[in-house]
Amino acid sequence: MVLVCGPAGAGKSTHARRLADDGYAVLSFDAEAWRRGLRDHPVDAEDAATVHAHLQRELLRHVAAGDRVVVDSSFWSRSSRDAYRDLLRPHGVEPVVHLLDTPREVVLERLAARRHRGPDDVVVPRERAEAYLDGFQVPTPDEGPLVVLDGRDRGGVVE
Does the pLDDT at position 157 exceed 80? no
Per-residue pLDDT of 41-60, as tens digits, reads 889 999 999 999 999 999 99
Boundaries of every domain in the chain: 2-157
Give residue 156's pLDDT: 47
Cα dihedral across residues 122, 135, 149, 57: positive or negative:
negative
Q: Tens of pLDDT along 64-110?
A: 999 999 999 999 999 999 999 999 999 999 999 999 999 999 999 99
Rg (CA), the chain: 15
Distance (Å, whole) CA 98 – CA 6 = 9
Confidence tier at 159 by pLDDT (50, 70, 90): very low
CATH for 2-157 is 3.40.50.300
Residue in 15, 36, 9, 4 with CA at minimum distance from that of residue 105: 9
